[in-house]
Amino acid sequence: MKNYKTQMEAAKKGIITPAMKTVAQKENLDVNKLISLVACGQVAIPANINHQSLSAEGVGTGLKTKINVNLGVSGDCKDYQVELEKVKLSLKFGAEAIMDLSNYGKTNTFRKQLIELSPAMIGTVPMYDAIGYLEKDLLDITPEDFMRVVRAHAEEGVDFMTIHAGINRRAVETFKRDGRRTNIVSRGGSLLFAWMEMTGNENPFYEYYDDFLDILREFDVTISLGDALRPGCLDDSSDASQLSELIELGHLTKRAWAKDVQVMVEGPGHMSMDEIAANMILQKKLCHNAPFYVLGPLVTDVAPGYDHITAAIGGAIAAANGADFLCYVTPAEHLRLPDINDVKDGIIATKIAAHAADIAKGIPNARDWDNKMSDARRQIDWDTMFELAIDSEKAKTYFESTPPEEKHSCSMCGKMCALRTTNLIIEGKDVIFRTES
């Protein structure tokens, strides 16, 4: 019988868990080094005891940058079969996490199916599910009701939950006093703000924080401390609302660790490029080097339809400067629920950002993939290039759409391919462009 409840408790006791062995192998990291990082909270291994299909991943200091895919139904898009196709696509392209953000009807059937089939870690935002699950108006929901939803998600096998515990009455007063261009853009944060204002009560996730932690500890669920007051436009970034909540999240991080509950801290949504590095340093300082999970950040507000690009730019900068976990953003952001093509574009853009940041951070062996691609390009080995590409199918389709006359080139340069020219000279051959008629 195991004598620990959570990965953090095991690490503090020097116990190597099966999840730790899996993560250490994936990261090519000494398991004893990993134990020390989990014990002090710098690495989280979200691994609910009821998620039997999980292939554990680590998030945090010294590890590869992970990506998350958001999906789930809404009142306007209720087709769970479409969401399952998105799940399969996410797994195909190597997303390490999937968050079910369904907010319509009884969502637990889909969530149980998702947990059963997915080796990726699964996250939820219980606040989203509360109204549909409880079949109550927001004003009528009690703290005990919120607790019921959190327990239900934990029992089902959810590995991490976004809980907006930092938007307490102090943070709300700061927000109301200072004002904002876009106010609150967090869906869960806005619902809690509305509940607090309508009832006159403290945020139940803050007031009864220890009770929620007890539930999470029971099932080894990692708490992802949500940033209800994240900036929703460039003009709101790094303001008093964002930073006052971040200070609260730092206190809540230590309280969770005291109960051996693993923590991730969520970060900004919209932010100009020159502010990102400083925000990463500040977050790590205020939240005691807990793993940092960012949405984007989106580096401009004027690109609807292309926000997978604005987010990838910000995500690469954020991860290169300390963020550990990137939430994907799709071209549909701000416009609609993403379709399967949007999901693919969002995943690929975020994978590129994460990998680019791993190279910049000096993650061991991160550059090896690029070196293999460079060797294949030097050798003009198309099959290997396609195999190594993040999106092999797209690379091959592009190449074959306009086939070159000269097989050791592409249709852009043909026989004038720089690599072909150099290879021929190094091999002692002449470069000939015209053939005898």
Binding positions for Zn(2+) = 270, 334
Q: Residues marked as binding for [4Fe-4S] cluster?
A: 410, 413, 417
For the record, the structure tokens of 346 come out as 């969002």
Q: Specify the 3-state DSSP secondary structure of 208.
A: coil
Point out which residues pair with 267 in neighbouring strands: 294
Peptide bond into 297 cis (omega under 30): yes
CA nearest to 282, candidates 273, 292, 272: 292
The encoded tokens of residue 306 equal: 């292309």
Parallel, antiparallel or unpaired: strands 97-100 and 66-71: parallel
* Closest to 381 (Cα-Cα) out of 409, 402, 361: 409
Instruction: Quote the CA–CA distance of 56 and 287 in Å, as a whole number.
Output: 24
Kindly state the tokens that stand for 90.
């996410």
Do 337 and 345 touch, CB atoms closer than 8 A?
A: no
Nearest to 160 by CA among 325, 357, 310: 325
Binding residues for substrate: 70, 99, 128, 164, 186-188, 227-230, 266, 293
Tokens matching residue 352? 């590129």
Query: Cα–Cα distance between 72 and 126 in angstroms, integer?
Result: 13
Using alpha carbons, list the distances in angstroms from residue 198 to 165, 189, 193, 410.
Answer: 18, 14, 9, 64
Alpha-helix runs per DSSP H in 379-432: 382-388, 392-401, 418-426
User: Cα–chain-centroid distance for residue 258?
Assistant: 25
Q: What is the rounded distance in angstroms from the CA atom of residue 23 to the CA atom of residue 121?
A: 13
- Degrees (nearest 5) of the Cα angle 188, 158, 249? 45
Angstrom CA distances, 233 to 107, 182, 328, stand at 31, 7, 17
Q: Residue 22 and residue 205: Cα distance in Å, rounded?
A: 32
Element (H, E) at 161: strand 160-163
CA distance 408 to 379: 9
Residue list for the binding site: 70, 99, 128, 164, 186-188, 227-230, 266, 270, 293, 334, 410, 413, 417
